[in-house]
Amino acid sequence: MLFAVPPLDFHSKHDVVSVLVEVDERILLLRRIPSKPQGETWGIPAGKATPGSYLQAEAVRELQEESGIHASAEALTFVQSVCVRYPDFDFVFHLYRLSLSRDACPNIRINPLEHDEFIWRTPQEALSLALIPDMDTCLKMVYAL
């Protein structure tokens, strides 16, 4: 469940940074390996931020680790932060955007310890996939779907 404003009983366990990578109106989606939490679901490059770190730099690190895409922190545009409540814990989800031209898009190199496939889809097409929890809500908010 997502909240724009944290509920009174919200206790964030950690921060998660994520990057919507866009090329020609399509976004990069990664499928989590079956052994990971939310296995066999699709999401965007994301991961836990190191406590006390600069979140935009952490988003750059996660993007590189999960997709092989190198970007500068200045190339990312902050979109929003939302509070997320899972049954067992709460966290804050920070969303950034990286728009690339087709010529500037590198070859994607996924981390096989975390993902087993990647695809490019429009945000609307992504809604028909088995997405990680609440990713559909994020896509609808960002792209006004």
Beta pairing partners, 12: 90
What's the confidence (pLDDT) of residue 75? 96
CATH superfamily of 2-143: Nucleoside Triphosphate Pyrophosphohydrolase (3.90.79.10)
Domain boundaries, the chain: 2-143
- The token pair at 101 is 């031209």
Look over the chain and give the mean of its residue pLDDT values, rounded to a whole number.
Answer: 94
Beta pairing partners, 46: 18
CA angle 102, 61, 56 (to 5 degrees): 90
Spatial distance between the Cα atoms of 86 and 47, rounded to a whole number of angstroms: 15
Q: How many CB atoms lie under 10 A from the CB of residue 113? A: 10
Q: Give the single-character DSSP code of 108.
A: P
Asked if pLDDT for residue 50 goes beyond 80, the answer is: yes
What's the confidence (pLDDT) of residue 37? 87
Bigger pLDDT: 37 vs 56? 56
Q: Which residues, at least 6 apart from 93, have a Cβ–Cβ distance to it below 8 Å?
A: 2, 16, 18, 46, 81, 82, 83, 84, 134, 138
What's the confidence (pLDDT) of residue 143? 95
Q: How confident is the model at residue 1 (pLDDT cuts 50, 70, 90)?
A: confident
Q: How many CB atoms lie under 10 A from the CB of residue 117? A: 12
* CB hemisphere CA count around 42 (13 angstroms): 19
Q: How confident is the model at residue 103 (pLDDT cuts 50, 70, 90)?
A: confident
